[in-house]
Amino acid sequence: MLLPLLVFPSGVGMGDVKLMLLLGAALGSAVATALVIGSLAAAAYAGLLLVRNGRAARHTAFPLGPFLAIGALVALLL
């Protein structure tokens, strides 16, 4: 999460970073799977927003935390 923080500082909330730290501590080596699944779910949602709202969706903010939590749950179940 360092790269998005450097590119667009107001786009990444520190709550997301803290959640990732806790997920890393709780999941261990499965955290990579959780982050990939959560990122793919967030990308799918962002794509849906782009299709529905067009270019105006580029300025829409949505929380990353729920997608990371979904990724963590899927990683735990796998």
What's the domain range around 55?
29-78
Does residue 50 sit within a domain? yes
Is 55 part of any domain?
Answer: yes
As a whole number of angstroms, the distance between CA 33 and CA 29 comes to: 8
In a domain, 61, yes or no: yes
- pLDDT tens digits, 28-77: 999 999 999 999 999 999 999 999 999 888 888 888 889 999 999 999 99
Collapsing DSSP states into helix, strand and coil, what is residue 39? helix
Tell me the whole-structure pTM to 2 decimals: 0.81
pLDDT of residue 74: 94
Say if 9 falls within a structural domain.
no
In the chain, how many domains are there?
Answer: 1
Report the candidate in 61, 64, 22 with the shortest Cα–Cα distance to residue 39.
64
Residue 19 lies in a domain: no
